Structure 1
Amino acid sequence: MAYVPPHRRHSKGPERPLLKPELLAPQSKKNLNVKPYNKSIVDWTENIVYADHSTHRWCAIPLDDENQFPSSVNLEPVTLESAVLNFGENHLALINTGLDNEGGEVEWNLPRSPWEYITENVLEDLLSAFKHVRNEMKSARPKEVSPTLVARVGKVLFRRSPSINMESIRKNYGTEILQQWRRLFYINTPVSYKGKIVNEVVPKIGVDFEEEEDTYELQLSDSTSPESTLFCRCRVMKEHGKLQLCEIKLKPVRNMVMDISCTTKNLDLRLMLCTEKLVTDLTNDEMQSITDLINSAILDPDLKGGLRWPPGKESSGDKYTVVRVCHGMGSTYRNSSLGLKVKHYDRFDLRTLTGEASWGISLMLENVVSKLQEENVEASTISEILKGDMQLIWDNFLSFERFLT
């Protein structure tokens, strides 16, 4: 067999999307495990930027009256189809074996609904984190800093030591033990799940098709500022077959991350409050260096990430170097209170020569963010809006056939 360079090898993963019209058209605190943010818990796959005041928490919803997992919920090993994240069977996930093959859920007689539990656990951290965001926005230029509250669906995965006996884990695990383990949130969802969202959920929740997206994102390192990463979002000029720069941002800063294991469902939930900052103060020389990098990019659909550069052209002006590329294709849907993105991501890291493709589903909770920016808004108002959003997500986005098993 002929040798195939690493960047031309496609990993086993979700199929690349075919953007056909029919696919894109609408058709209590007792169970919260609180721990100060520890970067080692969540940041062992990529460089993630967290604010100094950021919080990262994990909770399981719902547990029984004694704060224990029901007997049908087990901690099971999972294998990932990921060249970047696969560590054999060292990943574990909470799996509800009581779920039937139709994607149903187990019901418990609890004092409150699951979305009320989620809102209760999230609200205090959300309000606290947004105080810092508001101060940042006041000190920035108009529209230079924008906050987002993003909900993603996927699966909370825990990483165990190979020396730990699985039988011992099954007998003794609990929220206190799991809180100490490293974890990540795996967002790659099956193609069939994407189809369900587009064909069933989109028309049900009343969001309208807004636009089809086909963008490339270039991550640039700065030799004069090693901690800085620029994100250049580009579109393809079809008449020229070249990239066109749309905007430049700094890497999003995470102010709050809440990972929620939904023990009566097949999928889990991550809520993130982030701030993004547009870059508007580049010098002419800096802007020219970035423009040269973008203009020299060559579209190549056979490559991971979809882009390549002529030898030696991955850097420009001894300042900026392309370190990662991501080709995103999919659709955006929107109504007056939230946005929904259904996108296929094809990523490649030029430093490690690794990449993978995945489907991702994310919701932008825009009504919550809008209210948070109002002066003297009542916590009860935010709570009611958030509760409604959590019910919508619980009822429509977290049910699927046994996921990752």
Structure 2
Amino acid sequence: MAYLPPHKRHSTDAERPSPKPESLAPQFHKKLSIGASGSNVERRKNKQSFPTWKIVYANNAISRWFAVGLADDTHFASSTRLEPISLKSFEHKLGEPPLTLVLDSHLTENKEVKGDVRKSPWESVTEDVKEDLLSSFQNLRKAMECQELEVKPALVARFGKILFHGSPSVSLETVRSSSVAVTTLRQLKRSFYTTVPLSYMKNITNEVVPNIRLNFEEEKELYNVKSELNQVRHLVFDISCLDRELDLRLMLCAKRILTTLTDDEKSSISSLIDSAVLDPDVKGGLRWPLGKASCGDRYTVVGVWHTNSKTFRNASTRLKVRHADRFDFRTSSGEVTGEVSLKMTGIVSQLQEQNIQIDQVTEMLKDNLKLIWDYFL
């Protein structure tokens, strides 16, 4: 069967209406989830992200950054510069504002920000990431076979802004200069800020979803109690899109599926859940009485998320639009965010085949990236 890109597919299913909201108390008992503590995968020592919760990388994980719209292979155009951006959550933790790439449109000349005139941005990005994507997935498959793990892999596109964080060896004046070197940026730690404006989320839901023919799947309200079991990142590509409003992160990750729990584990988890108190006036929506946020030395609540999300899908992609109210117990800090992410389920299905059709995977990746460039950035 010939491959059809997502936005050209027709579904025979009528769009389902949003479910009626349920009462909060029953929903709490149905949807509250908690992970078990402990992970066999160590945190990557030279991680590039600044975490608000624990971020776990596979031992052979790949993390890269590059930009679309370079003047040449080593420098940006003179109209591109790094500038501080005011984000209180980062300034509180780091003591200084993060930096973001800025493109002065009135200074931009076609001869400077030209890129590769023979290729579209999505074609260039596809060539840059495809080999690492294939090798990372092969490494993930080997780990699953050797350790006999049941995991759920996902290839996710996230939209936001790449933030750079200074270091003692790189001065702010250096990175503010009009001739920002690529090598300079690669010396800086970076993170990906996924919070997008409410207007962007509404546009995705009201305009993009029908245009690319996604069908409504479900609406959820969840209270997630965070513990130490996290998804593991195997590949992270941060892509600065200089002529767009937002940047792009492509991430191959896998979440371990817990198939069995001992009676002791079930009892410990139930004890933590039963002790939680619904409270709309606190960040995260849940609180615990003094001394009840842990169960011996086995489980400790490290964070709470209260999320409201809508998901839409077709045969090869799954879109999630989510509002999240988070609180981190370790840092006593919280934030409210709006996020949009796109899972490329069709590509992952192809990668899981015994005999991977590389050409087909490449074409699917290219089509997905074109969709992202046309509608999401």
TM-score where L is the length of structure 2: 0.81
Q: Is contact 2:83–2:176 with CA below 8 Å preserved after alignment?
A: no
Q: Is contact 1:84–1:355 with CA below 8 Å preserved after alignment?
A: no
Q: Is contact 1:61–1:263 with CA below 8 Å preserved after alignment?
A: yes
Q: Counterparts of 1:181-330 in structure 2 under 5 Å?
A: 181-220=188-227, 229=228, 250-330=229-309
Counterpart amino acid of 1:252?
Q
CA deviation after TM superposition for structure 1 residue 351, in Å: 2.4
Q: Tell me if 1:363 matches 2:342.
A: yes
- Report what 2:10 is aligned to: none
Change (3 A) 1:168 1:328: closer
Q: Counterparts of 1:1-400 in structure 2 under 5 Å?
A: 39-43=46-50, 45-65=52-72, 67-82=74-89, 87=94, 89-98=96-105, 110-139=117-146, 144-161=150-167, 164-166=171-173, 169-220=176-227, 229=228, 250-398=229-377
Q: Is contact 1:95–1:263 with CA below 8 Å preserved after alignment?
A: yes
CA deviation after TM superposition for structure 1 residue 295, in Å: 1.7
Change (3 A) 1:88 1:316: closer
Counterpart amino acid of 2:155?
L
List gaps (5 residues or longer) in structure 2.
1-16, 22-43, 108-112
Counterpart amino acid of 2:282?
L
- Greater fraction strand: 1
**CA distance in structure 1 between the partners assigned to 2:91 and 2:307 by the alignment:** 18
Q: Is contact 2:69–2:114 with CA below 8 Å preserved after alignment?
A: no
Change (3 A) 1:120 1:168: closer
**CA distance in structure 2 between the partners assigned to 1:64 and 1:381 by the alignment:** 31
Change (3 A) 1:108 1:168: closer
**CA distance in structure 2 between the partners assigned to 1:154 and 1:69 by the alignment:** 20
Change (3 A) 1:121 1:54: same
**CA distance in structure 1 between the partners assigned to 2:374 and 2:75 by the alignment:** 23
**CA distance in structure 1 between the partners assigned to 2:334 and 2:127 by the alignment:** 38
List gaps (5 residues or longer) in structure 1.
1-19, 25-36, 101-105, 221-228, 230-249, 399-405
CA deviation after TM superposition for structure 1 residue 138, in Å: 3.3
TM-score where L is the length of structure 1: 0.76
CA deviation after TM superposition for structure 1 residue 202, in Å: 1.1
Q: In angstroms, what is the RMSD of aligned CA positions?
A: 2.6
Counterpart amino acid of 2:212?
I
Q: Is contact 1:42–1:184 with CA below 8 Å preserved after alignment?
A: yes
